[in-house]
Amino acid sequence: MLDAFGQPQSIVVLGGTSDIAGAVVDRLCARRCRTVVLAGRDAERLAESAARAEEAGAERVAQVVVDATDVPGAAASVERCFAAAGDVGAGGDGNVDVVLVAVGVLSGREDELDAAHAARVAAVTYAWPVAAITRAAALLAEQGYGRIVVLSSVAGVRVRRANFVYGSAKAGLDAFARGLGDALQGTGVSVQVVRPGFVRTKMTEGMPAAPFATTADAVADVVVAGLGTPASVLWAPPVLRAVFAVLSRLPAAIWRRLPG
């Protein structure tokens, strides 16, 4: 339940080892968020993220191991996360204020002609999040309020030759999340899409930075500030809104020649 100052007191993070998610949790815990549920594939890294959340001020931190390639199991994974957040016997209040979706895997040139690689990118970056968000939305609607924050990417605004497998998956997720937000009008549940540009994280380590590159901390600042607004789409950094208003109008012949 939101506190008297409108700050979330509980968050479920799908993609709990994400650098951006960790930075968001740091900030929310500093603002009185006390229950944190972290879901991810790597139990060891989840434990590190849990310790970070506790250090930031979380009073209850639960870890849920999930497999984002198991699309049919996504709904059950979300139910486990909500159950962990609402464990009244362990100090939970039975409600989830925010669901942060930070699940995805980058693609490379090897994904273009490798069916297994491409399928994994599509499953982890699009199909599993869609299934998980759908179940989270239903659970939040049952309690009558909540917000789902979906980490999309500018890669999905206009898909580039350099990473079209990943970009197409993010494009689908972005469109799904915005459509879901429209469908949830009147339920007390809202959806916010965050479109970061190139973010310097462990996922992009070793890659050349794109123009307007940013950091996990800077994206987290945008996310946390956005929680206090009704905005359906957030850009990180905000200047990318104007940049992509121009880039989206470039002729295809020019767009496909832009460097990756």
Q: Catalytic site residues? A: 166
Q: Which DSSP string do the residues of 5-40 spell out, in sequence order? A: TS--SEEEEESTT-HHHHHHHHHHHHTT--EEEEEE
Cβ pair 259, 161 in contact under 8 A: no
Tokens 């002729």 sit on residue:
251
Say if residues 2 and 9 touch (Cβ distance below 8 Å): yes
- CA dist., res. 124 & res. 250, Å (int): 30
Alpha-carbon distance of 210 to 178, in angstroms, equals 26
Distance from C-alpha of 182 to C-alpha of 193, rounded to nearest angstrom = 12
Whether 136 contacts 99, CB under 8 Å: yes
Q: Give whole-number Cα distances, 213 to 21, 185, 197, 246, 258, in Å.
A: 18, 34, 6, 18, 16
- Kind of pairing, strands 189-196 and 60-65? unpaired
Residue that has been written with the tokens 């020649």 in this structure: 257
